[in-house]
Amino acid sequence: MRVQQIPARIRWAVEVMDIRPDDHVLEIGCGAGYGVEAICERLETGKMFAIDRSESGVDRTKRRAHKYIEAGRLTVRQIDLATLRVPVRRLDKVFAFNVNLFWVRDCADEVTLLHERLVAGGAIYLFYEVTRTQSAPEVIKKSSAALLDAGFRVSVVENKAPAVVGIIGRK
Ligand SMILES: C[S@@+](CC[C@H](N)C(=O)[O-])C[C@H]1O[C@@H](n2cnc3c(N)ncnc32)[C@H](O)[C@@H]1O
C-alpha cells in the first residue's frame, strides 16, 4: 500500500510547536499518525505518547510509525483522554489536530488534567483545519475559554495556506 505523505497542515502545526530533541510530547487523537511521524522525526532523547480512542486510529498510527515504537521513542495507546494516566508535570508539549472535544462540549476536566501533567513552561497546542464546517471564530472562542479557565495563558496563530488555526495555551 502507498504511504501517504505528511500533509502540509500537519507540517505547519509541528513547525509552530518548535519541537526540541529532548521534548516529552503527548498527542491526543493521533488518527492516521501524521503528527506522530512529524514529531518523532525531531526527537532524539525525547519521548512521544500518542492516544486515540478509536481502534482504527491506533492501528494506523502503529503501522505508520512502527520504527519509532521499535526504537523506544513512541508509545501508542487506545484510550479516551478522560482516562489518561501520566505522572504530573511530565509533559513539555501536548498536541491535538482537529480533535473537536475542545470546542463542541464542556472539556473542563480534560483540560485541567492536561494542565496538571504539563511541566511549568509547557504548552498545549490545539489546531483546527479551517476548511471544516465549524466556523474558525467559534472554535477559537470556545477553545480559548476552556484553556483560560484551566489557568493557561492563551495565544492564537493563524495561517492561510494551509488554512489552519492554532490555539496555544502556555502554563
Ligand atoms: C478528525 S480525527 C483527526 C486525526 C488527526 N489528528 C489528524 O488531524 O489527521 C480526530 C481523532 O481524535 C480522536 N478522538 C476524539 N476525541 C478523543 C478523545 N476524547 N480521546 C482520544 N481520542 C479522541 C478520534 O478517534 C479521531 O481519531
- pLDDT tens for 83-132 read 998 888 999 999 999 999 999 999 999 999 999 999 999 999 999 999 86
pLDDT of residue 40: 98
pLDDT of residue 129: 94
Question: In Å, what is the CA distance from 170 to each residue of 9, 49, 73?
Answer: 22, 19, 24
Q: Is 99 in the pocket of ligand 1 (CB under 6 A)?
A: yes
Report if pTM > 0.95.
Answer: yes
In the chain, the amino acid numbered 77 is R
pLDDT of residue 131: 81
Chain CA centroid to CA 25, Å: 8
Give the position, in ligand 1's atom list, of the atom nearest the Cα of 82. Answer: 19
Q: Is 134 in the pocket of ligand 1 (CB under 6 A)?
A: no
Segments making up each domain of the chain, as ranges: 8-170
Task: Please identify every stretch of the chain with a pLDDT value under 50, giving residue numbers as ranges.
Answer: none
Q: Is 29 in the pocket of ligand 1 (CB under 6 A)?
A: yes
CA angle 110, 144, 42 (to 5 degrees): 70
pLDDT of residue 103: 94
Residue in 55, 95, 99 to alter for ligand 1 test, most ligand atoms within 8 A of Cβ: 99
CA of 149 to the centre of ligand 1 (A): 23
Give the closest residue to 60 by CA, choosing from 83, 80, 93, 37: 37
Residue in 5, 26, 53, 129 to alter for ligand 1 test, most ligand atoms within 8 A of Cβ: 53
Between strands 153-159 and 118-129, the pairing is unpaired
Question: In Å, what is the CA distance from 57 to each residue of 60, 95, 99, 111, 128?
Answer: 5, 15, 12, 22, 18
In the chain, the amino acid numbered 159 is N
Q: Is 51 in the pocket of ligand 1 (CB under 6 A)?
A: yes
pLDDT of residue 1: 61
Query: Are residues 117 and 152 in contact, defined by beta-carbon separation less than 8 angstroms?
Result: no
pLDDT of residue 135: 85
> Domain 8-170 maps to which CATH number in 3.40.50.10860, 3.30.70.20, 3.40.50.150, 1.20.58.220?
3.40.50.150
pLDDT of residue 3: 74
pLDDT of residue 47: 97
